[in-house]
Amino acid sequence: MTIHTPVATSLATPIALQRPHVIEFGAGTAPLAGRWAAGRGFRRILVVADAFNAGRVDVLGLEGEVTVFGTVKPEPDVPNLDEALALAAEVKPDLVIGFGGGSAMDLAKLVAVLPGSGQTLHEVVGPEKVAKKGAALMQVPTTSGTGSEAGTRALVTDPATQNKLAVQSLFMLADIAIIDPALTLTVPSAVTAATGVDAMAHCVEAFTSKKAHPLIDMYALEGVRLVGRFLGRAIADGSDIEARAGLSLASLYGGYCLGPVNTTSGHAVAYPLGTRHHIAHGAANALIFPHTLAYNAPVAPEKTAAILAALGLPASSRQEEVFASAHRYCAELGCEMKLSALKVPEDDLPVMAGEAHAIRRLLDNNPRDLSRDDILAMYRAAY
């Protein structure tokens, strides 16, 4: 078997960066939401939140006519979006605020652009189909994992097919993101571990992608370093605000990696755990992470060693050592590393491998080809 090491992309290769005009980052920044909105003269505000965050909207210090849509569901579906859109049609907000995790922020993006646009959800699915900017948009994340606050993509589940409908538009980029790590202090340790590994996986997969770019590599490697330095601390002591800030920033950098580069095999192999067996996205990624990192090591030896070093682990690019190190790292964070323990039926593994293998938009950018059998071998090794 010949393994080709990909040629590194030159720094001169074109790349597009998309960013909120303003990011307010740091402990205690949440009340800047109200100050910013008042300074810009926004008077009709619609906050899009899950039930937990709907109960603490007052931390944003908003003034004027504030309406809260407080029933965002995890992995929101089209009916959930329609409820939010119906409320927006009544309120006619000049400012929409996403307040929560990726689900709330994704819905807020669509609630900002669809009302009054004459476009339906199905007309804007795909890249850059949204016709124009709608209401102003603010994003206030309350978890560290998705990086959705700085992104242009929104995912909604089609209940008929269980497929994710993906809308991507520069018009859904936030005007301002307020990233206050104090809002993440209440995240329980198991969720902190899973979402932290998810943020790290965004960075690792973009770093080793065929589409990797030296400009994005900086964010990728720094994101991995932040997770290596702070994830263990945040799990051990959830009230460690500096550690929480480190994870908030790692999540943001993971988001920076998703836009122009995106993930590869790790996310592709992990997806069927979520879609077929309802395993949380972060937990699925943590379980798969050592398998794909080790699989890619022969074609990306320097980057693999750099990832391990950034996590604070011994630098290596030998497959067995890479696997053992990464596996131990995730297990020690408290992540479940066995598929059998997550009640995935063993006879479903071949179907899962087929589904993962079909996710070409991710797998085509993996630095090393994966066959359906390669994926099945990973599932069996993880069983």
Q: Which positions touch its own copies (CB under 8 A)?
A: 10-29, 170, 173, 181, 215, 218, 222, 241-242, 244-246, 249
Shortest Å distance, C-beta 182 to its own copies: 8
Residue 162 to residues 102, 153, 155: CA-CA distances in angstroms? 18, 18, 12
DSSP three-state, residue 67: strand
Shortest Å distance, C-beta 23 to its own copies: 4
Shortest Å distance, C-beta 169 to its own copies: 12
Structure-token pair, residue 76:
């929101």
Residue 142 to residues 251, 305, 327: CA-CA distances in angstroms? 11, 32, 28
The count of residues in the chain is 383
202: exposed, middle or buried (Cβ count in 10 Å: 0-12, 13-18, 19+): buried
List the beta bridge partners of residue 97.
Answer: 47, 138
Shortest Å distance, C-beta 324 to its own copies: 30
The Cα 196–Cα 205 span in angstroms is 14
Pair 337, 331: CB distance under 8 Å? yes
Shortest Å distance, C-beta 28 to its own copies: 6
Pair 99, 142: CB distance under 8 Å? yes
